[in-house]
Amino acid sequence: MTFSQLPQNNACKITLPVEVIMTQTPTLRAAILQQIEAGMTQLVIDLHKVEYIDSSGLSVLISALKRVEQDNGEIVLLSPTAGVRSLIELTRLHQIFTIYEDEAAAVNYICNELSQTAH
């Protein structure tokens, strides 16, 4: 998992690993929540590498979303692979997460459009 600072101070991109499964979720959840606690409340979660995610992995995404919403933040998902997208749609998480295929569009939304609507 990697964290990349975005142009806005409270925004970052989180690239998840190939597998997001139960044995890894405590570590992933703690690392993401640590970023949120440090003030990163506008997140792009990059799923382009993720080949497999289980229900505990999906719960990490939901926990992170609930936490950033406490600070009026937002999470968008970026480039889920076909299998991951199918699971997101099957579980209806596409109704609570905005999904982008284009990284520039996701970053623009998180860094620019959200800050303009907040004023």
The yes-or-no verdict on residue 74 having pLDDT over 60 is: yes
How much is the pLDDT for 116?
58
How much is the pLDDT for 7?
86
How much is the pLDDT for 100?
98
pLDDT tens digit sequence for 1-27? 899 999 888 999 999 999 999 999 999
Q: What is the 3-state secondary structure (H, E, C) of 31-44?
A: HHHHHHHCCCCEEE
pLDDT tens digit sequence for 87-119? 999 999 999 999 999 999 999 999 987 655 544
Tokens 């889920």 sit on residue: 80
Q: How many helices (H) and strands (E) does the chain have?
A: 5, 7
